Structure 1
Amino acid sequence: MFQYAAGVGLAQHRAGRVVLDLSAFAAYATWPYQLDKLRVPQDISAGEPLSRPTGRSLPARIARRLTGGVKASSLYLEPHFHFDEQFFALSGDEIRLEGYFQSPLYFAGCEAVLRQRFQPAEPFGVAAQTWAERIDAVDRSVSLHVRRGDYVTNPSAAAVHAVLGEGYYGRAIALIHRLLGGDVDFFLFSDEPDFVQEAFAGLPRAHVVRTDPARSWEDMFLMARCSHHIIANSSYSWWGAWLNPSPEKVVIAPGQWFTRHKLAMTNVMDLYPEDWIILK
């Protein structure tokens, strides 16, 4: 979603269009392609894929092709994690983007069109619709996301992203109570709901959300339906919070987006919208 959003940002700046190169998914087994589950125009490249090697986790970096209609092609490699101020100075008839582009600065000014496109392409399933009604029924709802999965089981992912512990969530919950009062309902989202059920057993007014695993995109939109958010170090709940359009929302995010080793070498400050609260 970050990659597509950056493509939209550059396309709007250049009066071009976004074409999706999905070739990396042939070697990327962690997640399937799912932008087709959203209202994103499926303008898929039928041409040759990027010719760069697929090493250095390239399967996790979907190439985006921006075209104004013709021939000359240039490849832009994201130089670092934080926003590149030269991004909107890119030139050429065709620009191919390779990187993560995890900053809202890459799509500033495109918020309205992205909020339209980043919506489910079909109605909620039965389980998700039931949870949507439960969320809508409470006065103050807070989504709380716990990301585990490959952060625990995949050594490559675990070397980059640390699993957030009780310290972060305890401080975030305490801060939510200070800001909003005690009468809030927490809706807990995780790829390991049984773990969350046990870990947060003592949290009053907590509800572990369980939906259809085959419709994994639905949880993001259930998060967005909540009034406020405690996110994990995960782009999934980042977008869940961002997609909530309310100017009154409180979003608490972890300063430890990566492991301490990687964080020491990475500037993550452009990752967070200005009005989000970052817990160090």
Structure 2
Amino acid sequence: MLAGVDGIIRKRGTAIGYVTVEIRGGLGNQLFQYATGFAIAARHRVPLRLDLRQVVGDGPMRFCLDELGIHCETADARHYALPPKTAGSSFKKRKRAAKDWLRHKLGTSPKRVEDAGSIFTPSALTTAPPLYLKGYWQSERYFDSHADALRARLQLPLPASPSLIQRIDDPSTVAVSMHVRRGDYVGQARFPCCPPEYYRRAAGEIARRVSRRPVFFIFSDDLDWADRNLQLDYDRVLVDEAGTHRNYEDMALMSRCEAHVIANSSFSWWGAWLNPDPDKIVYAPTEWFGGVATRELAILPASWSEI
């Protein structure tokens, strides 16, 4: 016998809940959030819902995933988790925590689980639904067991640039994506821009490791700066100089390359990750956030290299 309880289905006394994930930030961050929610929902065999309250409108942080053919149920007030209580006495906080725990156990409210800021949070994988996931979830470890299913779902559309695609696919060369993130990073201590020396060293390492002539396809939100400052000793192509590509089209082009030089950016992280070749070469900067070494975070897959 099935009986509905505030959107939760109970069968033989066991709650079959749901996973709600808050969507925020740009395309790369939204992909991390979706991938984590997808994997955790699949692990528990429950539906996934998206909380879209932070990505309304048409600005740079608009909701992007629907443009990739990703369709999930949208969460509503029943699927939101209340924020933790920070004001009041210790007794009131404990009382609030006890009520939240009871609502979660009864299946009438999801348990709120927050990531630890690029530090792997294993409790997100083991806490029973219903769940509300809040954070950026920037680690493959949340969804590596579902990598093949995710790559099959995330078939990003390519731009209408047949000559560019032909150059990337040229079997006589090795196409290398190189992402130069500047824009909102310039002048920010929190997100340092990767210096030209990083790109030159990574280009040299890739050229040393591959057997065919490398061609570097440079993607950037400041192609003029990249053109002036990245004079490489190898062939290079400045991608989308006219600004005609959508962001997910550039990401699709990145994923089509054989090797990758990423910035400290979730955008180029995904451009490299969506390349399904297990033997691909990926270089990342040794500093991801200002004053935070990349190796201190859980953001890089084990097979990727720092330089």
Fold conserved (TM > 0.5)? yes
In structure 1, C-alpha distance between the alignment counterparts of 2:244 and 2:215, rounded to whole Å: 23
Tell me which of 141, 145, 168 is aligned to 2:175: 141
> What secondary structure, in the 3-state scheme, does the structure 1 residue paired with 2:176 have?
strand
In structure 1, C-alpha distance between the alignment counterparts of 2:122 and 2:72, rounded to whole Å: 28
Q: What is the 5 A alignment of 1:102-113? A: 102-113=138-149
Q: Alpha-carbon deviation of 1:273?
A: 0.8
The Cα RMSD (Å) is 2.5
In structure 1, C-alpha distance between the alignment counterparts of 2:193 and 2:159, rounded to whole Å: 30
Q: What is the 5 A alignment of 1:160-171? A: 160-171=190-201
Tell me which of 159, 163, 186 is aligned to 2:189: 159
Q: How many residues are treated as equivalent by the alignment? A: 253
CA 214–226 in structure 1, closer or farther in 2 if over 3 Å, else same? closer
Q: What is the 5 A alignment of 1:217-228? A: 217-228=248-259
Corresponding letter in the other structure for 2:179: H
Corresponding letter in the other structure for 2:306: I
Corresponding letter in the other structure for 2:184: D
Partner of 2:154: 118
Q: Alpha-carbon deviation of 1:27?
A: 8.2
Tell me which of 92, 98, 108 is aligned to 2:134: 98
CA 151–31 in structure 1, closer or farther in 2 if over 3 Å, else same? same
Structure 2 unaligned spans of 5+: 1-30, 85-103
CA 267–172 in structure 1, closer or farther in 2 if over 3 Å, else same? closer
Q: Is the 8 A contact 1:39 1:116 kept in 2?
A: no
Greater strand proportion: 2
Partner of 1:270: 298
Structure 1 unaligned spans of 5+: 54-66
Tell me which of 7, 23, 39 is aligned to 2:53: 23
Q: What TM-score, normalized by structure 2, do the two folds share?
A: 0.75
Residue 254, structure 1, aligned to residue 294, structure 2: no
Residue 2, structure 1, aligned to residue 32, structure 2: yes
Q: Is the 8 A contact 2:48 2:72 kept in 1?
A: no
CA 241–119 in structure 1, closer or farther in 2 if over 3 Å, else same? same
Q: Is the 8 A contact 1:78 1:99 kept in 2?
A: yes
Larger radius of gyration: 2
Q: Is the 8 A contact 1:143 1:187 kept in 2?
A: yes
Partner of 1:230: 261
Corresponding letter in the other structure for 1:144: M
Q: What TM-score, normalized by structure 1, do the two folds share?
A: 0.82
The structure 1 segments of at least 4 consecutive aligned residues displaced by more than 6 Å after TM superposition are none
Q: Percent identity over the alignment?
A: 34
